[in-house]
Amino acid sequence: MPWCVRKCPYCDFNSHQLKSARPDGTYIHALLRDFERELPRIGQRRIDSVFFGGGTPSLFTPEDFAHFLTSIRRRADLAEDAEITMEANPGTIERGAFAGYRQAGVNRVSLGAQTFNARLLERLGRIHSAEETERAVEELRSARIENFNLDLMYALPEQTLDEACSDVRAACALNPTHLSYYQLTLEAGTVFHSRPPPLPDEDTAWRMQNAGQLLLAQAGFEQYEVSAYARYGARCRHNLNYWSFGDYVGIGAGAHGKVSRSVAPDMTGGLQVLRTLKPKQPKEYQEHAARGAALAVGECNAVAARDLPFEFMLNALRLNEGFDQQLFEQRTGLPMSSVLPRLHEAQTRGLLEPRPGGWRPTELGRRFLNDLQAAFLA
Ligand SMILES: C[S@@+](CC[C@H](N)C(=O)[O-])C[C@H]1O[C@@H](n2cnc3c(N)ncnc32)[C@H](O)[C@@H]1O
Ligand code: SF4
């Protein structure tokens, strides 16, 4: 859902500044047409989770969500207990809105808090105050959506270690079930990239990460991925599927998808992994979706078998628990023996360690994750 009230200067997501108060609801029709073209790839599979991301999905009305979810329920097997998450910007939450989203089927919300510091919120070009984030959480509670995530960023322009710690404490005080703690990165094509603000040095950023990890652990949040922390039982099912190299369909402007299918067993081990990508520009996307029903929306490319180990590791090694041998073989169609020399080499470098049934990154491996992942490049 690729629109935002205003483009944040650090953001390289496919988000476009909205020119009216709300996006045009006809976008939902395009999403549904896109979904219909994906049905053959989904086949008989059950959908366990849905993630409305953006952009700012909370710019769409509860009625838009209800229409979309009711329609996909009619066309595909959406699990009764599916995790259905929407991202929301605290600056776009009207009183009572979450009750409507919940009614539509949303049962998990991810709120972009980013920081609770007024100076930094302004510096990040955010459209909301810390009070509005707190109010959005109250709204969540009154709508009985207890399962929610807060996005926080650290290593912000001229941020001090104390300020970063205060943010983590403020976030914990709101008692989310999940917290995402991202280091601000300067992404190509953003305003911050072309005019970089003064950022804390690497050592300070490292201290902020460690201090954040400690505070979160003390508050009962277990880190299970590079940036993801959860209370017991509240890991994000949808994201876990990405990180375990599972399949997903991507619906909407700029959406990525990954779907595997069985093929004749040859070099690929009987499995072919397809990557799909939808047109990024909303207008072009909507035009594609409106074309003849037989035409798939966007691009679809098969991943070469030699690239599968790297693609798998790129995701799985983000998880503190790493992966099971069985999962590797199931998701890539390749025998574990095909990567054993690389696993052993990474082990010798102290980046990876064996565990019962599989492998996981060591603390050093988590710290130098790029090096560890690169060890599996074709
Ligand atoms: C699509 S946005 C979330 C929802 C909503 N658009 C918002 O900003 O409130 C996903 C999250 O990615 C994080 N993010 C975006 N750009 C980032 C960057 N350059 N560095 C680190 N984190 C970033 C932010 O925490 C943001 O909330
Ligand atoms: S509101 Fe979220 S998606 Fe939109 S520009 Fe800001 S960070 Fe990016």
Q: 233-276: per-residue pLDDT in tens?
A: 999 999 999 999 999 999 999 999 999 998 877 656 789 999 99
Phi-psi region of 160 (alpha: psi -120 to 50; beta: other; left: phi over 0): beta
Report the separation in Å between the CA atom of 364 and the middle of ligand 2, taken as the mean of its atom positions: 32
Residue 62, Cα to own-chain centre: how many angstroms? 22
Nearest protein Cα to ligand 2, atom 6: 8
**CB-count exposure of residue 352 (10 Å: 0-12, 13-18, 19+):** buried
| Contacts of 223-229 spanning 24+ positions with Cβ under 8 A | 223/320, 224/319, 224/320, 224/321, 225/318, 225/319, 225/320, 226/318, 226/366, 226/369, 227/180, 227/181, 227/182, 227/183, 228/178, 228/179, 228/180, 229/178, 229/179, 229/180, 229/181
Report the separation in Å between the CA atom of 338 and the middle of ligand 2, taken as the mean of its atom positions: 41
- Please choose, from the candidates 240, 256, 249, 247, the residue with its C-alpha nearest in 3D space to the C-alpha of residue 332: 247
Nearest protein Cα to ligand 1, atom 8: 112
- Rounded distance between C-alpha atoms, residue 104 and residue 24, angstroms: 18
Give the position, in ligand 1's atom list, of the atom nearest the Cα of 151: 25
pLDDT at position 267: 57
The whole-number mean pLDDT for each consecutive block of 10 residues of the chain, a chain of 378 residues, reads 96 94 91 95 96 95 96 97 97 91 98 98 97 97 97 98 98 98 97 97 97 98 98 98 98 97 75 95 94 79 95 98 97 96 98 98 96 95
pLDDT at position 22: 87
Q: Name residues contacting ligand 1 (CB within 6 A).
A: 10-11, 13, 53-54, 56, 87, 89, 112, 114, 151, 153, 182, 184-185, 187
Q: Which of 1, 13, 111 to mutate to test the pocket of ligand 2 (most atoms within 8 A of CB)?
A: 13
- Rounded distance between C-alpha atoms, residue 46 and residue 38, angstroms: 13
Give the position, in ligand 2's atom list, of the atom nearest the Cα of 11: 8
pLDDT at position 229: 98
pLDDT at position 294: 66
- Rounded distance between C-alpha atoms, residue 55 and residue 19, angstroms: 14
Nearest protein Cα to ligand 2, atom 8: 11
Q: Are the C-beta atoms of 147 and 107 separated by less than 8 Å?
A: yes
Give the position, in ligand 2's atom list, of the atom nearest the Cα of 6: 5
pLDDT at position 293: 66
Give the position, in ligand 1's atom list, of the atom nearest the Cα of 87: 4
Three-state DSSP at 14 gives coil
pLDDT at position 183: 97
pTM attached to this predicted model: 0.96
DSSP state of 278: -
pLDDT at position 114: 98
DSSP state of 317: T
pLDDT at position 116: 98
Cβ neighbours around 50 below 10 Å, total: 23
Q: Name residues contacting ligand 2 (CB within 6 A).
A: 4, 7-8, 11, 13, 15, 54-56, 89, 112
